[in-house]
Amino acid sequence: MYNPEKKSALIPSSEITDEAVFRQRRTLIKASMTGAAGALLGYSAGVTANTSATGFRTSEELTSKKTVTTYNNFYELGTDKGDPARYADRLVTDPWSVEIDGECNKPGKLTLEDVLKPHDIEERIYRLRCVEAWSMVIPWNGFSLGDLLKRFEPNGNAKYVAFETIVDERLPGQRVPVLEWPYREGLRMDEAMHPLTMIATGVYGEDMPNQNGAPLRLVVPWKYGFKSIKSIVRISFTEKQPPTSWNMSAPHEYGFYSNVNPEVSHPRWSQAKERRLAGESKGISSLFTPKVDTAFLNGYADQVASLYTDMDLKKHF
């Protein structure tokens, strides 16, 4: 359960950005990234055996921007990997607001500017591991989810955080019952408050493309990618474990926790190996690179394994 007295000193506060800058999000991101590099401290992740890495940085080659922005899962825009980019213009992100409710002392409805205003945008390079056995290395721009959640003063009953994405008849994927809409996800409170968990507002120093979950998406780097819900419009503090879309759709295949675990196979394929979608230097061949061993908790075990002490991760998959 979230302890409001426990504070993280991982990321030092930096100077408050002028409000006019916040109204120009692209300017904000580019301006903030320069100063953010010094704030990316601690947390060694050991992404691969021969890679020097931290929880916020890695020396691994970035997946190409083209691949990151054209090879996506975003079922609201379609089930084919190319559909999100193809139909990105169907997602309308201006205006945008986020409803915060549930077990908290300060519920409310925030505009996008209200969400962004108190936060310095920083760059974090995280791996994203998809359940289909492929992964990417992506430079996200954003801020810690925990910093946002604290503003609403979750109370003693808040044991989980639930998220919902947009529902809009203009989104082609939502015209078919592939899933029960809206898309839902959830985290345990300690997972949500962990310093590695972030709200991403962009990639590659630019605003978040629609196909990647504009304007606000979750990034939880030690979990499979479908946990990182896109285009968030609602955040709720709950006492009971919230329903999540893929667990509702196929509970025998997708558990609530969805931690990257090579020892727990998907019923239809193994999760022991993955194919890294690499950078520009490898060109189109990056889609056909050899598979490598999947790292437990996606390489972030040093930071987050303590969250699951005494839990059977094969049962709580």
End-to-end CA distance of the chain: give it in Å, rounded: 20
How many domains, in total, are found in the chain?
Answer: 1
Q: What is the pTM of this model?
A: 0.83
Query: For residue 6, is it within any domain?
Result: no
Query: For residue 91, is it within any domain?
Result: yes
- 91 and 231 Cβ atoms separated by less than 8 Å: yes
Residue 196 has pLDDT above 90, yes or no: yes
Query: Does residue 317 sit in helix, strand or coil?
Result: coil
Query: For residue 79, is it within any domain?
Result: yes
Among residues 22, 220, 15, which one has the least CA distance to residue 115? 22
* Burial of 9: CB neighbours in 10 Å, binned 0-12, 13-18, 19+: exposed
Query: For residue 314, is it within any domain?
Result: no
Find the mean pLDDT for residues 254-275.
94
Q: What is the pLDDT of residue 238?
A: 98
Query: For residue 149, is it within any domain?
Result: yes
Q: What is the pLDDT of residue 195?
A: 96
Dihedrals phi, psi of 29, to nearest 5 degrees: -60, -45
Query: For residue 7, is it within any domain?
Result: no
pLDDT, tens digit (0-9, with 9 covering 90-100), for 101-136: 999 999 999 999 999 999 999 999 999 999 999 999
Strand partners, 238: 160
Query: For residue 227, is it within any domain?
Result: yes
pLDDT, tens digit (0-9, with 9 covering 90-100), for 8-65: 333 333 333 333 333 334 433 343 333 333 232 222 232 332 223 456 888 888 999 9
Strands 134-144 and 273-276: parallel
Residue 34 domain boundaries: 19-308
Spatial CB neighbours of 224, under 8 Å, sequence gap ≥ 6: 129, 130, 131, 258, 259, 260
Binning pLDDT at 50, 70 and 90, where does residue 287 land?
low
Copy the structure tokens of residue 124.
């974090």
Residue 231's CATH number: 3.90.420.10
Query: For residue 279, is it within any domain?
Result: yes
Instruction: Find the helix or strand (DSSP H, E) in which 53 lies.
Output: none
Write a three-state SS string for 92-156: CCCCCEEEEEECECCCEEEEHHHHHCCCCCEEEEEEEEECCCEEEEEEEEEEEHHHHHHCCCECC
Strands 97-102 and 232-238: parallel
